[in-house]
Amino acid sequence: MRNLLVLSTIIVSGMFALVLGLYAATAGKSPAGPPADQRDEYGVKIDNFSFTPASLTVPAGTTVTWVNRDDVPHNVVSTEKKFKSPTLDTDEQFSYKFTDPGAYEYFCSIHPKMTGKIVVQ
């Protein structure tokens, strides 16, 4: 009878451990989003008369969004006329999808000293 009790205790403990393990495995499978290297959207911040990051490398097929966080209007103009945003007031944004690999330089035509680059791989 005593052996039976020990056996039951072992079985119950085992099941408890199994349930805990399943719970831990399930809990571990809820990521907060796709991994950083699998994003298909990237952002460039416009602030204090500069683009941040000034140079951004993205995989082909990426949509890049520029957001004007400055208190003066800016725009985003491709040096090779591949894309051109309207004038962006504070907190306005512009997106462009880069499908072909290459280096895309751009500037703000209102303040031509503001320059940036998107490298598409």
Q: Is residue 76 at the binding interface for Cu ion, with CB under 5 A as the rule?
A: no
Cβ 114 to Cu ion shortest distance, Å: 5
Q: Is residue 110 at the binding interface for Cu ion, with CB under 5 A as the rule?
A: yes
Question: Cis peptide leading into 53, omega within 30 of 0?
Answer: yes
Cβ 49 to Cu ion shortest distance, Å: 6
Tokens of 31: 């990521």
CA distance 93 to 49: 15
Q: Is residue 69 at the binding interface for Cu ion, with CB under 5 A as the rule?
A: no
Q: Is residue 108 at the binding interface for Cu ion, with CB under 5 A as the rule?
A: yes
Cβ 57 to Cu ion shortest distance, Å: 23
In sequence order, what E strands does the chain have? 41-47, 50-52, 55-58, 62-68, 77-78, 93-98, 102-107, 115-120
Q: Is 65 helix (H, G, I), strand (E, B) or coil?
A: strand
Binding residue count for Cu ion, defined by CB under 5 A: 5
- DSSP class of residue 38 equals G
Q: Is residue 77 at the binding interface for Cu ion, with CB under 5 A as the rule?
A: no
Cβ 64 to Cu ion shortest distance, Å: 17
Residue number with CB closer to Cu ion (58 or 70): 70
Q: Could you list the residues that contact Cu ion (CB under 5 A)?
A: 74, 108, 110-111, 114
